[in-house]
Amino acid sequence: MAVIELPISFKERMQGLLGGEYARFEQALEQAPPVSIRLNAAKLPSTAFSLPPVPWAVQGYYLPERPRFTLDPLLHAGAYYVQEASSMFLEQALRQATDLSQPLQVLDLCGAPGGKSTHLASLLSPDSLLVSNEVIRSRAAILAENIAKWGSGNVLVTNNDPRDFRKLDNFFDVLVVDAPCSGEGMFRKDAQAIQEWSEENVKLCAQRQQRILLDVWGALKPGGVLIYSTCTWNEAENEANMAWLAEQEQAESINLQVPPAWGVVASQVNGVEGYRFYPHQVQGEGFFMAVVRKTGTAANEYGSGKKKKYKLTPSGKKERALVQDWLIEPDKYEWLQHSEVISAIPANLFEAADEVYQSLYVIYAGTQVAEVNGKKLKPLQPLALSQHLNKAAFQVADLDLAQALHYLRKEDIQLPTSGNAWLLMQYQNLPLGWAKLIGNRINNYYPKEWRIRMELPQQLTPAELFSIANHFTSS
């Protein structure tokens, strides 16, 4: 890699912070960043993986180099997520600070593009509700796409400003705030982050982070947990902000057990402990995390009292009868209808989900199952990728790699079949989406906005033919 020209004031601060380790730190910034992924165990069960593990994440693994992920259909199937390893430390915070066997209501406030939200969805119990939020509309659409691909079915995606969450007083058991920051930890991955960095921007980021924290703090239940993170190293955006919050709101620091072999550095300001990731000590990017608990007792409980009117609308019995067999264990769901779209959410989450709908702008919820037009049904893309899809209800077409890639480009493909039915298109036994069989012709229904846009190489090298499936061994 080319030598990185670091801002002078940044170098001076890091030299003071790291002392004799600074030379190793700067050298690490000139190395290629590690590549890591996190598997979706619900879609790749009962297998062993042959690559080096990320030590703090059960389903996290390192790759030897960065392949062309776009050319692996299993990425599009939601079988794994390409995620920076340091940020997977969220798993340790959640496992050590909460009881994951219990149903929890969790907010991922700054959710796009979806790394932490899909991670949360894998860790939480099926009876838990995850609200994944993104304030920027275009990024919220990407977040909803990745949530649909992951397919857990117990997630609401919202597009709201942090202050909107004041309406949900004492609602969440866990808040995850991966705050917008000055991005110092991304310097070796993003040259623009260096160009945009300044001491003034650090101050502005710290102030914005404080506003965000105060905006959402009321939505956390007393006894609930805030997991705060940034991808930067300066104290103002990290320890100082957590110490400020602890003093402002009487929050209690939660200390995590971190094996020394991991290379994570513990820090402390005014009794609040944080955890720092440096690229010369961990195989990952720059990162900071702290965990605090809200003290006090709740003045009220959500769900108490009689609601005058629900915002969520149950589907009609006829419509439900048409689609209920499309999910495994259909009686576990509340079937909803908005315009022509039928969706399903776990029945035990209906009340909490409706509270969210009453207060926020929800752009995606549960599993979108079908579009109904009279007696005609069109299965929707999130159904194909759902972890709860009943594949036995559909005719399935198995695709080879070339067919799968052309399908994902939304191009016409030919299959030795005929008839009149919806086809569930799958690759290596994992669904990719839908096509409509009309006689000998196949109409490709892969979402236009999701399609692969890159031109496919005429000849693929072994590196370009990367598939996550190649790294499994028999268990």
Residues of the chain with pLDDT under 70: 1-3, 46-47, 298-308, 460-466, 469, 471-475
Domain shared by 227 and 334, yes or no = no
Residue that is last in its domain, among 231, 263, 293: 293
pLDDT of residue 373: 83
Burial class (CB in 10 A: 0-12, 13-18, 19+), 367: buried
Domain shared by 275 and 376, yes or no = no
Domain shared by 171 and 313, yes or no = no
Domain assignment present for residue 349? The answer is: yes
What confidence tens digit (pLDDT) does each residue in 240-296 have? 999 999 999 989 999 999 999 999 999 999 999 999 999 999 999 999 999 999 998
User: Which one, of 140, 135, 108, 113, lies nearest residue 124 by Cα?
Assistant: 108
3-state DSSP of 279-313: CCCCCCCCEEEEEEECCCCCCCCCCCCCCCCCCCC
Domain shared by 214 and 289, yes or no = yes
Residue that is last in its domain, among 345, 375, 390: 390
**The domain that contains 233 carries what CATH number?**
3.40.50.150
Domain shared by 164 and 131, yes or no = yes
Domain shared by 255 and 139, yes or no = yes
pLDDT of residue 76: 98
Domain assignment present for residue 224? The answer is: yes
Q: Pull the structure tokens for residue 339.
A: 């315009």
Domain assignment present for residue 475? The answer is: no
Residue ranges making up the domain that contains 437: 394-455
Q: Pull the structure tokens for residue 268.
A: 């402390």
Domain assignment present for residue 283? The answer is: yes
Domain assignment present for residue 316? The answer is: yes
CA 112 to chain centre: 7
User: Which one, of 97, 44, 114, 445, lies nearest residue 255 by Cα?
Assistant: 97
How many folded domains does the chain comprise? 3
pLDDT of residue 440: 87
Which are the catalytic amino acids?
231
- pTM, entire model: 0.95
Q: Pull the structure tokens for residue 292.
A: 């605090």
Give percent above pLDDT 70 in the chain.
93
Domain shared by 176 and 284, yes or no = yes
Domain shared by 421 and 322, yes or no = no
Domain shared by 366 and 407, yes or no = no
Domain shared by 327 and 431, yes or no = no
Residue that is last in its domain, among 335, 357, 390: 390
In angstroms, what CA-CA distances link 321 with 206, 281, 369?
Answer: 53, 57, 13
Domain assignment present for residue 76? The answer is: no
Domain shared by 385 and 417, yes or no = no
Residue-by-residue DSSP string for 182-233: --GGGTTT-HHHHHH--HHHHHHHHHHHHHHHHHHHTTEEEEEEEEEEES--
Q: Pull the structure tokens for residue 351.
A: 């009340």
**The domain that contains 364 carries what CATH number?**
3.10.450.720
Domain shared by 225 and 363, yes or no = no
Domain assignment present for residue 203? The answer is: yes
Domain assignment present for residue 59? The answer is: no
